[in-house]
Structure 1
Amino acid sequence: MKISGVDIRPGNILEYEKGIWRVAKTQHTQPGKGGAFMQVEMKNLIDGRKTNVRFRSADTVEKVRLDTKEYQYLYTDGDKLVFMDNENYEQILLDVDMLGDEVAFLQDGMEVTLELYDERPISVQLPDQIEATIVEADAVVKGQTASSSYKPAILDNGVRVMVPPHISSGTRIVVDVYAKEYVRKAD
């Protein structure tokens, strides 16, 4: 489906210069002289490159629809991640670097969504929030009782997050996977 350059929005998947790109940011600019344009920051879903492109209102670009499919994470085998299709139980191996830093949040049996382009997986979406256990938390500094003061803590997956002062080692918390932030204590 072709769309105008000024109709591009963050999250859109575009086919541009023989690549598949996810739009990260857009900025509409109306200069005093000349036509309006959209400054677009995109990330290539195949090789991870980033680029900034200027699209004028007269430019058209192909908007791509990705198929999504639910998979279950099974285990890591070297530099490959093994996932199982929830419908037909077939297994698929993907490179660890397809997930980037979020790979630390993978948990055995976790349900994930794979985005596919022409039957080929190009990205893995983890749940937005997961539960994790604090394995190490700094002691509260005396006099640091303001509600906005947070202390560093390390999760059982090795990720460092900032937590409120009342959180101690051994506590289960809910963490935002993509922002790497404390959300609340787990129930």
Structure 2
Amino acid sequence: YKRQPGKGGAFVRTKLKNVVSGKVVDRTYNAGAKIDIENVDRRDFTYLYNDGESFVFMDATDYDQINVPATVVGDAANFLLENQQVTIALNNGNPLYIDLPASVVLEITYTEPGLQGDRSSAGTKAATVETGYEIQVPLFLETGTKVKVDTRTGDYLGRVN
């Protein structure tokens, strides 16, 4: 927003977001300052596979494939299954980051045998889901159970029938 104090020239206070790191900073500029703005294009993609070096996604509109380095995918890899829908932010065709849905459904591929009848929320145990990621789940869940997982925190949100 533009301010015109009693003395001196007008200035502009603004919030800027770093598109790569996501960090937001406050900046003040003189009213006449020229600023270059980068465009960030957000598009929907479908996850296809991991070729060992990068993750391969297909653009939902034109079926073009892009390779996204593992460093850009980051923790999102813990929740990616084949055919998973994601939004990828691009700058001049370069992937900046991946936005996952708020939660995903994953199957437990391994966990210690459950204690039948133990429905208390007090205890949790480790469970490995089909992406290889490990989460904490209630004691009564068994291998093969489909669970809903929060993609921001990795928290167990409930069972899926």
TM-score, normalized by length of structure 1?
0.65
**Which residues of 2 match residues 63-78 of structure 1 at below 5 A?**
66-78=40-52
Residue identity matched to 2:23: V
Distance apart, 1:141 and its partner CA: 6.9
| Offset, 1:72 | 1.0
2:92 to 118, 122, 125: 118
**Deviations 1:76-134, CA, capped at 9 Å, x for gaps:** 11211111111111111111121112213211111110112234321111222111111
User: What letter matches 2:138 in structure 1?
Assistant: P
In structure 1, distance between residues paired with 2:37 and 2:123 = 44
Identity rate of aligned residues, in percent? 25
Who is 1:49 aligned against?
none
Does residue 1:22 correspond to 2:22, yes or no? Answer: yes
Root-mean-square deviation (CA, aligned residues, Å) is 3.1
Q: Is the 2:107–2:146 contact (alpha carbons within 8 Å) kept by the matching residues of 1?
A: yes
Structure 2: give runs of 5+ residues left out of the alignment: 3-11, 30-34
Change (3 A) 1:111 1:146: closer
- Say whether 1:166 aligns with 2:134: no
Contact 1:150–1:163 (CA under 8 A) maintained in structure 2: yes
Q: Write the distance in 2 (CA, Å) between the matches of 1:152 and 1:21.
A: 31
- Which residue pairs with 2:111 in the alignment? 137
Alpha-carbon distance in 2 for matches of 1:170, 1:71: 28
Deviation string 1:13-72 (CA, Å, 9 cap, x unpaired) is 237xxxx54127xxxxxxxxxxxxxxx6xxxxxxxxxxxxxx5xx734988662210111
Question: Which of 4, 25, 37 is residue 13 of structure 2 equivalent to?
Answer: 4
Structure 1 gaps, min length 5: 25-39, 41-54
TM-score (norm 2): 0.74
Distance (Å, rounded) in 1 between the aligned partners of 2:119 and 2:159: 19
Change (3 A) 1:21 1:76: closer
